[in-house]
């Protein structure tokens, strides 16, 4: 650990951790139905063999890795909030670990979306359970809260040197300077369109069928789609693909965690 947790972070790293903290609060508050507030902590997370580690590999505009470390108690309590469990548990079960991983994926997805504008492009996060990292952390921070019983819930974040370097502000060159803003009249024209409602659809897959097969459809018939279960789901706007992502379930409703934004919509 090269820095005290949450102390002395460079501004760009502090902004990164703050964004992760905010998205953690938002996702947990949404899934638990209770307002969750975390704070930065200078107290490092004590190490234990039972700690759970997760590695997040950044792609898109950024490159690098970071890890999340949680104690078994913190992991269990977060998983129970995700599963709406209230009974005490002796430790994280396999179901708890699966729930925690899905929770962290949702937080990662929301954080990637929130960071895109500040880093100047699309951010992708790929999360997986892992062992402790082989690389030394360039920066370490902890965010913590307490549950209803007052028991601490702590998440330690370690940022690799590669990711810390990618987050460093880049010197501005003439070619990299942003384009001049559009004239006020053009801005006003666009603003008038911002509240126009548009219908978007999710497409899990498709298949071409001859008419005789369509007419033969009946209850119980299975129609096999061309996409496999690991293929990204398309987000369609007016019949054109504008984004792709993974299906998630939030409060019993389907949702889409965007993993890629298509710059030019492709025909459906």
Each residue's pLDDT tens digit, 131-141: 998 888 888 99
**Residue 159: closest CA among 144, 140, 134, 143:** 140
Tell me what pLDDT residue 70 has.
94
Beta strands 39-41; 253-267: pairing state? unpaired
Mean pLDDT across 25-53: 88
Residue 242 near residue 261 (C-beta atoms within 8 A): yes
Cα angle 159, 165, 167 (rounded to 5 degrees) comes to: 80
Going from N- to C-terminal start, the domains of the chain cover 11-166, 198-267
Higher-confidence residue: 54 or 248? 54
Q: Tell me the backbone φ, ψ of residue 111, rounded to 5 degrees.
A: -65, -40
Which residues sit opposite 124 in a β-bridge? 59
pLDDT tops 80 at residue 197 = no
Tell me what pLDDT residue 173 has.
42
Which residues sit opposite 139 in a β-bridge? 159
Angle (deg, nearest 10), helices 94-119 and 72-83: 90
DSSP state of 143: E
Confidence band, pLDDT 50/70/90 cuts, at residue 104: very high
Enter the tokens of residue 44: 């490092």
**Residue 257: closest CA among 128, 130, 104, 119:** 104
Is the pTM higher than 0.85?
Answer: no
**Residue 200: closest CA among 250, 134, 112, 262:** 262
Q: Which residue has the tokens 């819930």?
A: 153
| Mean pLDDT score of the chain | 82
In terms of Cβ atoms closer than 10 Å to its own Cβ (0-12, 13-18, 19+), residue 261 is middle
Enter the tokens of residue 15: 């902004």
The answer to which of 59-73, 96-110, 201-215 has the lowest mean pLDDT is: 201-215
Sheet-wide strand order for 123-130: 39-41, 139-146, 152-159, 64-70, 52-60, 123-130
CATH 3.30.70.100 matches 11-166: no
Enter the tokens of residue 204: 């899990």
Q: Which residue has the tokens 């209230």?
A: 86
pLDDT tops 90 at residue 71 = yes
Mean pLDDT across 13-27: 90
Q: Which residue has the tokens 């459809």?
A: 217
Instruction: Considering the domain delimited by 198-267, tell me its CATH architecture.
Output: Roll (2.30)
């Amino acid at each position: 650990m090269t820095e005290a947790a949450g102390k002395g972070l460079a501004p760009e790293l502090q902004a990164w951790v703050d964004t992760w903290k905010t998205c953690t609060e938002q996702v947990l508050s949404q899934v638990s139905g209770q307002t969750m507030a975390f704070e930065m902590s200078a107290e490092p997370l004590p190490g234990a063999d039972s700690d759970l580690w997760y590695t997040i590999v950044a792609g898109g505009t950024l490159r690098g890795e970071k890890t999340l470390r949680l104690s078994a108690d913190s992991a269990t309590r977060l998983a129970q909030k995700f599963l709406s469990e209230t009974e005490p548990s002796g430790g994280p079960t396999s179901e708890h670990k699966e729930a925690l991983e899905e929770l962290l994926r949702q937080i990662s997805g929301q954080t990637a979306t929130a960071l895109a504008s500040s880093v100047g492009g699309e951010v992708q996060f790929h999360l997986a359970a892992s062992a402790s990292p082989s690389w030394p952390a360039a920066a370490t921070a902890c965010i913590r809260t307490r549950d209803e019983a007052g028991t601490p819930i702590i998440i330690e974040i370690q940022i690799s040197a590669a990711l810390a370097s990618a987050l460093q502000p880049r010197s501005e060159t003439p070619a990299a300077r942003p384009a001049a803003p559009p004239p006020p009249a053009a801005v006003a024209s666009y603003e008038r369109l911002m509240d126009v409602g548009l219908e978007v659809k999710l497409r899990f897959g498709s298949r071409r069928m001859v008419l005789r097969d369509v007419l033969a459809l009946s209850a119980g018939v299975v129609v096999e789609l061309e996409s496999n279960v690991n293929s990204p789901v398309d987000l369609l706007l007016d019949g054109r693909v504008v984004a792709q992502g993974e299906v998630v379930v939030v409060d019993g409703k389907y949702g889409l965690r965007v993993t890629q934004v298509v710059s030019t919509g492709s025909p459906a």
